[in-house]
Amino acid sequence: MARAFSAKEAMSIKKRTLDFTGAWYDAFSTPERSGVWFIWGNSGNGKTSFVMQLAKALTNYGRVAYDSLEEGTALTMINTLRRYEMDKAGSRFQLLDCEPMDELGARIKKHKSPDFYIIDSFQYTQMTYREYIAFKEAHRGKLLIFISHAEGKNPAGTAAKKVMFDATLKIYVEGFKAFSKGRFIGPTGEYTIWQEGAERYWGGINDEPNKAV
């Protein structure tokens, strides 16, 4: 039987957080540095750029492993790394070349393994929701960040939708902005990926995505 906590006991539990500042804090506050984040959006809206900016930001807090299941070490990925000068992160950033989920799981369990794992994309993992839950439970001390394709404004596929609802931080990308859908939301709840592109996209649109899924 699980332990029961009083409200005072629960509120006294110390959690390790990412002490974001600036634009990252404004969008996502200070999220817990373990658990699951889920990022989705349609092609051409800045999702790849956002993920790389996020990866670079996370190297300030620990080591990041990027499992490039879709692109591997293709020139498109290498060019993205060059564009964001990821080489300056040194050993704090690792690119994994299409590492299957069982091998990624073994890597995570190694002593002194990276702190943060970006998995691109969820669809390429071919995981069921049940398999996702098992993977998440096996690696509770790490931060797992799944990237997903979208169908309209929703993640593509039933399993992806379920993972999105389970995630502690849900981030929807549209029009070169990343919107926090909970459960961590900063003062603005949004992060601008590319200012000029965002202004051009949202200039004629009055309704930006609201904070609720």
CA dihedral (16, 19, 24, 27) positive or negative: positive
Give percent of the chain with pLDDT exceeding 70: 89
What value, to the nearest 5°, has the Cα angle with vertex 62 and ends 141 and 49? 105
Q: Is the pLDDT of residue 80 over 90?
A: yes
Where exactly are the structural domains of the chain?
30-202
Q: What is the pLDDT of residue 184?
A: 87
Kindly report, residue by residue over 137-166, the tens digit of the pLDDT. 999 999 999 999 999 999 999 999 999 999
Higher pLDDT, 3 or 65: 65
CATH number of 30-202: 3.40.50.300
Residue 28: its pLDDT value, please? 97
Dihedral pair phi/psi, residue 94, rounded to 5°: -125, 135
Mean pLDDT of the chain: 91
pLDDT at 3 over 90: no
Which pair of tokens denotes residue 28? 């996502």
**pLDDT of the residue at 4:** 79
Cβ pair 26, 179 in contact under 8 A: no
Instruction: Provide the whole-model pTM.
Output: 0.91
Residue 206 predicted with pLDDT over 60: no
